[in-house]
Each structure stands twice: as structure tokens, then as C-alpha cells.
Amino acid sequence: MRGVHVGSLDFDAEKTAFRDFYDSNRDGLQGALGSFKTLIEALLLSKSISAISSIDGRIKDREECISKFTRKYRTMLESNGTPYTILEKITDLIGLRVVCLYEDDVERVKDVISEEFNVLDVTDKISQVESTEDSFGYKGLHLDLRLNEAREKMAEYRVYAIHPFELQIRTVVQDSWSIIDHKIKYKRSIPNSLKRRINTLAALFELADREFRAIREATETELERAEKTYPEIEDETEAAADYDEGRSEDQNDNQPSRRYAPLDAFNFLRIAKHFFPEFVFEPHKVDGFTQEIVSLEPNISRGKFNFYMREKISDIKRYQAHFEATGDYTMNPFTIIRHCLYAGDQQLFAHMLTETARERFDTWLQKSHS
């Protein structure tokens, strides 16, 4: 229980009791909010659920709580002669929200949270909307939670054990829809033609959720396929090497690149991980870096890129040791790749390095080869 007040049918007395509780417990509510948020972040991280857009929370406004009670509960309770307290009906006094990237992560988050908290109630707005043909509104999962018995005994949580809270779990798309949905006035009274338009819009949001998930799954499939293609890339690399050794100076260097699979982010990542197996390549950096390479050589193949890396990385590693020994700077794998490309074709990939970096590297090349 969050207080010793037993309740009554006197609305004015209950308002006063709730306001007193709220004002005297404001700091404790904020502390509980911060503690619960930190705990949820740690739990999701421990389960490797990383596709999270945001985790945030708030303490519900005092007068908003009273308005909600009046709107949803007062008439029914007083008609039935059931004594009440406002506090016991406001389950979202402390509210947290986890926004996931993909719809299947909603259930994953729910499962993790359910293992670590006592679940008092579940409101599945996804099922509510999907099971009613003419219903419209935002989708999401709402859990009313309390610390479980084990955590209630821990010193860092004991003071917050009296506070239940609500956790909303949504996707980014569902969260966006909920923001818009709350701004649509008089939804239950609008004409059917407008209801149909709202339902059409809601369907588009739902389709976006499904497409984002499908794209993620297709991307994962493509990455898995790329993991198995290095022998093919090596074959193309040998062809690129043979071509480089056998071509005359007036031959067009673009010819072999057109014959083999083009360089894309998936192939780049597979090749880069071959040379730097311990480095974690962030997807957005891989995508941008690959586009930079392709912008300088639109016809570059994955085999030719692998050829540049294979042929030049030993020299670049020696330059790296020299460079890092003479200053406070380090060369990460992206910088090493830039130097490999430049060493492979100084004219084509001149812009992969800054002017200062080119001059410094050129000076080292001249000394090392003299």
C-alpha cells in the first residue's frame, strides 16, 4: 500500500488526501522514477535488447490525476456506494515508456520486464485495436508493475517499494501515431467518412511497422549471405590481380570492375571484418564510407576493393607503426582502409585523404622505398 488512508465517498476529502500525499511524496516519486528507469535500462542491456529508440518517464501532474479519476471512476464508485481513494486508481502516477525500433521487440521487452517485476495488470492496446473493425487509436502495450519481492528487500530499492508504476512499450511508429492520435479531437463523434480516413492512416502506420521489420530481416539475411562469400571475393581478387599485372597502360581500368559483383555495404563489411576481425564496424559508418568509395570509383568491384586491401595493408601497417610512434594520434581501421585505397591508386583515391595526410604519407613512401 502507498498510504494508510482507507478511503470514503467524500470526493472533497479524497481530493485533499491525494493532494497531501502527492505534495509530501514528490521527491520520493522522482527518486522512484529515476531508479526504475535505470533498472529497466540495465535489464534490457543485460538481455542484449539494443534496438531501443528511447526510455523516458514522467510523474503525472497532480490535477491531471484528479481529472482522470473523475472522468473514469468517480461516477461508478459513488453510484455503487464503494468507498475509494484517488491514489489507488491512478496506476500511472509514475509512468515510463520504452520505444523500440521494431514491433517484435515489444514482446521481447515485455518478457524481460515480466521476469523482473510483479505484473499487476496488462493493457494490450494492440489487440484491442486489431480485434475491433471500426476502432482506431494508437497501438502499444501497457504494464502496471511493482518491484518484485527480491528487489523490495534490496537497500537501493527498499524506499521505492511502495510505488507501483506503469510501463508503456511501443515501436517508434506506434509512438508517432500516438502523438498524432492524441491531437485528433472528438474522435468518437466524427463522421464515418473521417473515421475511414483515420483508419486508412492507421493502416499505413501499421504497414510501416511491418516494412521496417521486413527490411531488418532482409538486411540480416543479406549480411549472413555476405559472410559466406569471401571465397568468391578471393576469386574475383585474383582476377583483378591478374588483370593489373597483364594490362597495358592505355587499357581501360574499369573493365574488370564491370564483370564482377559491385562493392556495396554488405561486401565492404565482409572484407573489412576479414582484415580487422576484432573491430566493431557501426552500420551507419559502413554505409557512409562505402558510398564515399563508390562516389570516387563508381565501377569498383568487391574483388578490386579486396585487392587494394590485400596488396597494400602490409605497407600501411608499417606506416601506422611509424605514424603512431611519432605523435599522439592513432589510425583506426577506417583510416587504414583510406590509406590502402590511396596507395592502390593515388590518382583515383586522392580525396580519401586530407592534403596534410597525403603529404605526410607520400613523404614516408619516398623514404621507405629509397
Domains of the chain: 11-193 (3.30.460.10), 228-369 (no CATH)
Whether the per-residue pLDDT at 3 is higher than 80: the answer is no
Mean pLDDT over 106-113 rounds to 94
Share above pLDDT 90 across residues of the chain, in percent, rounded to a whole number: 62
Grid cell listed for 283 = 552500420
Mean pLDDT over 351-355 rounds to 95
Output the DSSP codes for 339-362: HHHHHH-TTTTGGGS-HHHHHHHH
Q: Residue 298 burial by CB count (10 A; 0-12/13-18/19+): exposed, middle or buried?
A: exposed
Grid cell listed for 236 = 574475383
pLDDT in tens, 239-285: 766 655 544 444 444 444 446 789 999 999 999 999 999 999 988 89
pLDDT in tens, 280-323: 998 889 999 999 999 999 999 999 999 999 999 999 999 999 99
Number of Cβ atoms within 10 Å of the Cβ of 334: 15
Q: Is the dihedral of CA 26, 28, 33, 34 positive or negative?
A: positive
Number of Cβ atoms within 10 Å of the Cβ of 218: 10
Say if residues 308 and 341 touch (Cβ distance below 8 Å). yes
Residue scoring higher pLDDT (250 or 91): 91
pLDDT in tens, 188-198: 667 777 778 87
Say if residues 96 and 166 touch (Cβ distance below 8 Å). yes
Mean pLDDT over 155-176 rounds to 92
Mean pLDDT over 104-114 rounds to 93
pLDDT, position 194: 79
Say if residues 17 and 93 touch (Cβ distance below 8 Å). no
Mean pLDDT over 229-243 rounds to 75
Which residue from 105, 102, 106 is spatially nearest to 122, judged by alpha carbons?
106
Mean pLDDT over 171-194 rounds to 78
Residue scoring higher pLDDT (167 or 49): 167
Band of residue 2 on the pLDDT scale cut at 50, 70, 90: low
The helix (H) or strand (E) run that includes residue 57 is strand 52-59
Mean pLDDT over 177-202 rounds to 76
Amino acid letter for position 190: I
Q: pTM above 0.95? A: no
**14-34 as b/e: b if 16+ CB within 10 A:** bbebbeebbeebeeebeebbe
Mean pLDDT over 204-211 rounds to 88
Mean pLDDT over 25-47 rounds to 95
Q: What are phi and psi of 59, to 5 degrees?
A: -100, 125
